[in-house]
């Protein structure tokens, strides 16, 4: 379902416009829908100097802005862009389920961490 929705809503769209809308969504909508408890927990870990990686099947066009503003690493679904236009396809597939584990272990050496929360 998500793959079809991404194709329907992004195919042929100007990447700059979609990125701008994603940034607006990340700053005006996301903060109001994320549980306060989750934000407090992120702040708690950050205050202790822990590395925080947001791993989600959500789209890069908005989640990357949200994470960048908070200085968090992110692994999420990215849409393919060719010559400034989204194709409606994912880059390297949708980032859901066991694919998340694969991507985390490819990007991070988990042996270097005492504790990993998911």
Q: What's the whole-number average pLDDT of the chain? A: 91
* Four-residue CA torsion sign, 61, 63, 69, 75: negative
Residue 82 lies in a domain: yes
- 31 in any annotated domain: yes
In a domain, 71, yes or no: yes
* pLDDT(96) > 80: no
Is 39 among the domain residues? yes
Q: Which of 4-8, 10-14, 63-67, 102-106 has the lowest mean pLDDT?
A: 4-8
Is residue 89 domain-resident?
Answer: yes
**Terminal CA-CA length for the chain:** 25
Task: Quote the number of domains for the chain.
Answer: 1
CATH number of the domain enclosing 81: 3.40.50.1000
117 falls within a domain = no
Ramachandran class of 35: left when φ > 0, alpha when ψ lies in -120 to 50, beta otherwise: beta
What pLDDT, on the 0 to 100 scale, is given for residue 100? 87
Query: Residue 31 belongs to what domain range?
Result: 2-112
Q: Is the pLDDT of residue 67 over 80?
A: yes
The answer to whether residue 26 scores a pLDDT higher than 90 is yes
- Euclidean distance between CA atoms 73 and 79, whole angstroms: 18
Instruction: Tell me what pLDDT residue 118 has.
Output: 74
pLDDT the model gives residue 5: 83
């Amino acid at each position: 379902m998500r793959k079809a929705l991404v194709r329907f809503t992004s195919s042929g769209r100007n990447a700059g416009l979609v990125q701008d809308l994603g940034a607006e969504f990340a700053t005006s909508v996301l903060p109001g829908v994320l549980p306060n408890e989750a934000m407090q927990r992120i702040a708690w870990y950050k205050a202790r100097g822990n590395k925080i990686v947001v791993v989600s099947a959500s789209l890069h066009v908005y989640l990357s802005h949200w994470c960048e503003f908070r200085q968090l690493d992110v692994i999420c679904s990215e849409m393919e862009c060719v010559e400034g236009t989204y194709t409606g396809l994912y880059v390297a597939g949708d980032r859901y389920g066991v694919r998340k584990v694969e991507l985390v272990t490819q990007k991070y050496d988990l042996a270097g961490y005492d504790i990993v929360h998911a």
